[in-house]
Structure 1
Amino acid sequence: MTTWQGWDRFATTDPPAPPRPGDPPRSTEERLAYHSAFVTIRTPAISTLATQVRTLMLLGRHQQTTARPSLIVTGPAAAGKTTALLNVGRTCHLAHIRKNPAPPGSAHAVVPVAYVLVPPGATAKTLVTEFARYLGIPVTARMTQTQITDAVCHTYTQAGVQLVMIDEIHRLNPRTTTGAQTADLIKDLSERLPATFVYAGINVTDTPLFSGTRGAQLAGRATLVDCGPLPARHGTRHPFRDVITDIENALDLTHHKRGTLPRHASYLHQRTAGRIGSLTRLIRQAAITAISDGTERITKATLEAIRLDHLAETHHRPRRDR
């Protein structure tokens, strides 16, 4: 998805659909593929991010003199940050092309969204080269960073990019020389491009990104969206159990009884520490196991038998000091 062709294919391909009453039963292979891809569960973070992005894009639409307001999606690993980012990016993409379809016979596609990953050990030049690669802008070894940046700004403006999403932003360290130059490049791009910037990274507020003069500039322009673990209870609501219910309703198992998984909400919260990524992986893996062994239902024993990511397993079964 870090090229326009890949992003466009992702955004315009219908996501997996849960089974609906009256639909013919799917084959085993179809159901295995479905639980592998699975649906995107609309979490509170996705709803908050969607509202914030829509508002800030309207807020900055006619802003000319300074960088538009931006967003930072932060949280621990496996908290659903990238999922939320991609979901909102897809929504923005589809809404824009519905309102602004390319003229018939036009050779120029509508490019409302850009998605870029900060490469490991990023320098300003390697990062701006990633921006160029997304739209297929030719880059030669002899080109300077300034030349590539100028080409990116011109092409992105001409293409009508309105939303720029930069993932893995925690890889930047403005305390180093290369990190400071890369942070300055992002600031330069955000001021030169008529687009809203959204960043995503692991526990961004705990990194050097918010320290020093450059950090103060970023913090002064960016709204923080916390994609942290979901609490088991928030006031009178039970957001984690609600997400479990949504996941269960999307399963395609022939013998699974609805209501089984929400009854294990406390266990699932302890098992995953409230992380959405770990939760969806656990239930999807249990569903695939249930299809493969023919039981076609998920029980607590099924869940307990599955080994999760190391982060979740360490939380669930902490090591004892000897």
Structure 2
Amino acid sequence: MTEKFDPPPDEPLTTKEGWSRWVQRDLNPPELIWNLDQLSLEEKATYDEVRLDYHSDLIVVNTPTIQEIIKTIRRLLVLNRRQVSARRGLIVTGPAGTGKTTAITQLGRAHELGVRLRNPIKGPRIPVVYVTVPPAATPRMVAVEFARFLGLPFGPRHNITDVTNAVCAVLCDVGCELVLIDEIHNISLTTRSGAEVSDQLKYFSERLPATFVYAGIDVERVGLFSGTRGKQIASRFATIATRPFAYGSKTQRDNWRALVATLESALRLQHHKTDTLTRHSEYLYQRTHGMLGSLSHLIRGAAIDTILDGTEKITKAHLEAIRLDHAAETTPAATSAAATKQSKTGVA
């Protein structure tokens, strides 16, 4: 059975303990047990709980965007090996719900597993750091986020220089190669504190022999590339945009059906028939508007309901019973004709 990943509330991904547990968790799907009548009530409850836990963390689909991000970063990691300054980085940007956080965390997980496989050395090693930019962040707050990931004890009496120097020393010692910084849209270069946070991140990138990856919502629209500091960021970082899936052309519709089929194949339900969801691919597109996060939530939520109600197969009624995010629920559903028109006019 799949090991349950249930980190303590004080061990999120933004701590080395939470990140390590998440990276090393078992992703193998649980095996279906067909002779359920031979299970005791306790065994059946355990079996259901394992599958409920599995569907709460369904597989990540290796979409073309994730493939491009991983390929780009692998290239940058090599290019940056002998750079002593002005290392190149990547910014993943796009609308909310299009998989930015999923993409960079999967990138980090793949890189860390690869490092540990190639270099099974003993001793402390932290090849990947994952932090988020707090709202209304200051340079010290960002430095403390790095320290918190590492578990370094810093109090209010320690100044930003103390925190920064300690963080850089530790990350160099533990062989950090990849720094993932999420929620970068919380930085506004039009404010003094935002400009100072940008400078702090730049200082980290110059002190650490690592490749930096930023992720945020529509970063160009929020002004990340504006002004002198923004131009410097633009000159050092490539950008990859995440977008909703399109549904206009036959190829786009085939890609969407393939995505639905991949998610459907990962289900672990007793009576669900293959291709049931792919037959509803247009309905799923209308419900989710091509948003990968909404689609995953819809299918996983329906799967959980079928386990709880004992039917063990997803029907359209199960799908209709799932409440999605506000954006998906309030945006008018696009018809195939409208989607085709969007495709022809270049609207994603």
TM-score (normalizing by structure 1): 0.91
Query: Given that residues 32 and 270 in structure 2 are in contact (C-alpha distance below 8 angstroms), is that contact kept between their aligned partners in structure 1?
Result: no
Map of 1:8 onto structure 2 = 20
Map of 2:100 onto structure 1 = 81
CA positional deviation for 1:235:
6.6
Q: Does 1:18 align with 2:37?
A: no
Query: Given that residues 32 and 269 in structure 2 are in contact (C-alpha distance below 8 angstroms), is that contact kept between their aligned partners in structure 1?
Result: no
Worse-matched range after superposition: 246-255 or 38-47? 38-47
Match of 2:284, SS state, is helix
Summarize the alignment of residues 305-320 of structure 1 with structure 2, pairs less than 5 Å apart. Answer: 305-316=321-332
CA positional deviation for 1:277:
0.5
Q: Which of 276, 283, 289 is the equivalent residue of 1:273?
A: 289
In the alignment, residue 18 of structure 1 is paired with which amino acid?
Answer: P
Map of 2:229 onto structure 1 = 214
Cα separation, 1, equivalents of 2:241 and 2:311: 38
CA positional deviation for 1:173:
0.6
Summarize the alignment of residues 273-312 of structure 1 with structure 2, pairs less than 5 Å apart. Answer: 273-312=289-328
Summarize the alignment of residues 142-181 of structure 1 with structure 2, pairs less than 5 Å apart. Answer: 142-181=157-196
Aligned residues: 312
Can you give the 5+ residue segments of structure 2 that lack an aligned partner in the other structure?
Answer: 1-12, 37-43, 335-348
How far does the alpha carbon of each residue in 1:84-128 deviate from its partner, in whole angstroms, 9 at most, with x for none? 11111011011111122233xxxx311100001111211001101
Summarize the alignment of residues 3-82 of structure 1 with structure 2, pairs less than 5 Å apart. Answer: 3-15=15-27, 17-18=28-29, 27-64=47-84, 66-82=85-101
Cα separation, 2, equivalents of 1:23 and 1:112: 42
CA positional deviation for 1:300:
2.1
Query: Given that residues 289 and 333 in structure 2 are in contact (C-alpha distance below 8 angstroms), is that contact kept between their aligned partners in structure 1?
Result: no
Query: Given that residues 73 and 81 in structure 1 are in contact (C-alpha distance below 8 angstroms), is that contact kept between their aligned partners in structure 2?
Result: yes
In the alignment, residue 197 of structure 2 is paired with which amino acid?
Answer: T
Cα separation, 2, equivalents of 1:60 and 1:6: 28
Q: CA RMSD in A?
A: 2.0
Cα separation, 1, equivalents of 2:63 and 2:96: 16
CA positional deviation for 1:147:
2.3
In the alignment, residue 114 of structure 1 is paired with which amino acid?
Answer: V
Q: Which of 105, 111, 124 is the equivalent residue of 1:92?
A: 111
Cα separation, 2, equivalents of 1:313 and 1:161: 42
Q: Which of 218, 223, 240 is the equivalent residue of 2:238?
A: 223
Q: Does 1:245 align with 2:261?
A: yes
In the alignment, residue 194 of structure 1 is paired with which amino acid?
Answer: P
Cα separation, 1, equivalents of 2:317 and 2:82: 56
TM-score (normalizing by structure 2): 0.84
CA positional deviation for 1:198:
0.5
Cα separation, 1, equivalents of 2:220 and 2:261: 31
Summarize the alignment of residues 68-147 of structure 1 with structure 2, pairs less than 5 Å apart. Answer: 68-103=87-122, 108-147=123-162
Match of 2:81, SS state, is coil
Q: 1:29 to 1:99 in 2, by over 3 A?
A: same
Query: Given that residues 19 and 250 in structure 1 are in contact (C-alpha distance below 8 angstroms), is that contact kept between their aligned partners in structure 2?
Result: no
